[in-house]
Structure 1
Amino acid sequence: MKSEKIGKYEIEYSGFKLPDREDWVAILAIYASCNPIHRNGIFPPQRVALDCVFPNEQIAQAEARAIALSMIEMGCKNP
């Protein structure tokens, strides 16, 4: 899972390959603190872009990151 600090948030995002398929989905988590001991999860790890599958891991990760940026702009409301 890739991790990135954006302002006061830490985002983790990844692509997950679907079983028995060649498609990938986007996974995202958002935390309000970058300290692993005191990290406050405000968006638990879960699949995002529910109506989409992606041809590879990199595209799935890019979509998860784009959704995270959008959510942070909106104040971390669910997509």
Structure 2
Amino acid sequence: MPSEKIAGYEIEYSGVLLPNTERWAAYLNIYGPSCNPMHRNNIFKFQRVLIEQEFPNEAAAEQAALSAARGMLKKS
């Protein structure tokens, strides 16, 4: 699963193939800062984002999920 760090947050994002289709959904997981390097503080559990959108391929879904995460972190 691709990941990126932004301002102390670790973002994992992915595209998941929707059942019985050839379309993809954007999924996201965000971990917040933690004082213990062996523990990740999950603040946004792995779930679908942009639920009304479907994407033609995995890469497009991944980029949409990453963009959603950036927007969420910008607001906080």
Relative to the length of structure 1, the TM-score reads 0.88
Question: Is 1:49–2:50 an aligned residue pair?
Answer: yes
Percent identity, aligned pairs only?
A: 49
Matches within 5 A, 1:1-79: 1-33=1-33, 35=37, 37-75=38-76
CA deviations over 1:19-55 (Å, ceiling 9, x no partner): 21000000001001374x2110111000000000000
CA deviations over 1:7-28 (Å, ceiling 9, x no partner): 1100000000012100000000
- Structure 2 gaps of 5+ residues are none
- Aligned-partner Cα distance in 2 for 1:3–1:17: 19
- What's the C-alpha RMSD, in Å, of the aligned pairs? 1.2
- Structure 1 gaps of 5+ residues are none
Q: Secondary structure at the match of 1:4?
A: strand
- Aligned-partner Cα distance in 1 for 2:5–2:67: 14
After superposing on structure 2, the runs of 4+ consecutive aligned residues of structure 1 that deviate more than 3 Å are none
One-letter code aligned to 2:70:
L
- Aligned-partner Cα distance in 2 for 1:7–1:29: 15
Q: How many residues align?
A: 74
